[in-house]
Structure 1
């Protein structure tokens, strides 16, 4: 039997709303994000009552992910397991700015960023390639710890992007045309030979209003 992982993006933050890159900056959830986290917990608790039990809940150690994951962990009686490697990509000097500010402050680096070069890293940050390998190594370790299991990983938009590219065989420099929604459930199945396939993506049936994708058709990294 394969291992099923529910990859869940954290709830909305104030910086998501204004398209400001968070990266490793430890931004808390907005009030809307707190509500989303509670609705997520209620959804996972209902699923558990319907025999879709989770064996474990993992989370990035950044506050916005922890605040999203903790209500679900509490509702299910599970310990929240923090994994630093599930953090968003480190964006270095780009963090704390929106795309327009980055273009003004760092025009040369901004131009490189726009080329989608997987080897480009902002000063003090990670390249897409390094980030991708960091994320997949962490995910592989978690999957190996739960053979035939069903688990959740509450994390960030960039991490979801890495997982989707792996499962679908997409190159790192390909433009993104799939959503990375706040508090969405994105279910991926991993089998013993290391392959993965997407079972469902961008499930927000538990939310009362539409969720946002603050990077699609702009630049990824606000997650």
Structure 2
């Protein structure tokens, strides 16, 4: 069985991305910049398809910011959108809706544990990095198994891209991040039937003709999964 080529696309910009506020499972829409980024992704994918690099299926997280990012590409390529809740961002529980400073003020004990990057730590009502990681990999493995030797798109979130990158590079969940998770970026990965991933290309934003936000690579404060 041949590996599946998966193009992981992080959703376009939201207003909360700009102010470093954790979204998690809160259903925040794209802002105007994000909507334009989604249109540019669609134009890029249409050009690629015209050059013989089409896709067999498009999946997306069921959260609004991912759906809105995927919809122009779905229309441009004439495909249906397959929603996959397993591609959702990590659930941050009581941390959602707050920035790092607000979390430190409201939940000082939980904040202190969060800063240790303990893979087993989950905010009240949320997921731990370990649970999130396995949830994401299970969802991606299911998708890949349905499209052996195919080329598919998964429109998702920064935290999901983080899990994919760590899987491909063999990085521990508590290792600091030094790689980008850019809004509206294309990140291509080969995924085989054994669940082994290898990165083909990462952080491609040539279609945007400009810079893309990464929520500041705010790893020191733990806010690296939006």
TM-score range, shorter chain: over 0.9
- Give the secondary structure class of the aligned counterpart of 2:207: coil
Name the CA distance, whole Å, in 2 between partners of 1:186 and 1:83.
Answer: 18
Does 1:127 find its partner at 2:124? Answer: no
Does 1:220 find its partner at 2:223? Answer: yes
Does 1:43 find its partner at 2:47? Answer: no
Structure 2 gaps, min length 5:
none
RMSD between aligned residues = 0.9
C-alpha deviation, 1:217, in angstroms? 3.3
Name the CA distance, whole Å, in 2 between partners of 1:198 and 1:172.
Answer: 18
- Give the secondary structure class of the aligned counterpart of 1:29: coil
| Distance change (3 Å), C-alpha of 1:3 and 1:148 | same
**Contact kept in structure 2, 1:16 and 1:222, CA below 8 Å:** no
TM-score normalised per structure 1:
0.98
Provide the residue aligned with 2:54 in structure 1: 53
Name the CA distance, whole Å, in 1 between partners of 2:174 and 2:134.
Answer: 14
C-alpha deviation, 1:194, in angstroms? 2.5
Name the CA distance, whole Å, in 1 between partners of 2:139 and 2:203.
Answer: 22
Name the CA distance, whole Å, in 1 between partners of 2:198 and 2:216.
Answer: 23
**Contact kept in structure 1, 2:217 and 2:224, CA below 8 Å:** no
Name the CA distance, whole Å, in 2 between partners of 1:86 and 1:117.
Answer: 22
Provide the residue aligned with 1:200 in structure 2: 201
**Contact kept in structure 2, 1:23 and 1:221, CA below 8 Å:** no
**Contact kept in structure 1, 2:12 and 2:65, CA below 8 Å:** yes
**Contact kept in structure 2, 1:7 and 1:153, CA below 8 Å:** yes
Structure 1 gaps, min length 5:
none
Provide the residue aligned with 1:26 in structure 2: 27
Name the CA distance, whole Å, in 2 between partners of 1:63 and 1:78.
Answer: 18
Name the CA distance, whole Å, in 2 between partners of 1:121 and 1:200.
Answer: 31
**Contact kept in structure 2, 1:89 and 1:221, CA below 8 Å:** no
**Contact kept in structure 1, 2:39 and 2:73, CA below 8 Å:** yes
In the TM superposition, 1:71-150 aligns within 5 A as 71-150=72-151
C-alpha deviation, 1:215, in angstroms? 4.8
Counting matched residue pairs gives 223
C-alpha deviation, 1:220, in angstroms? 3.2
| Distance change (3 Å), C-alpha of 1:194 and 1:222 | closer
TM-score normalised per structure 2:
0.97
**Contact kept in structure 1, 2:93 and 2:127, CA below 8 Å:** yes
Name the CA distance, whole Å, in 2 between partners of 1:87 and 1:221.
Answer: 15
Name the CA distance, whole Å, in 1 between partners of 2:33 and 2:56.
Answer: 28
Provide the residue aligned with 2:157 in structure 1: 156
C-alpha deviation, 1:192, in angstroms? 3.0
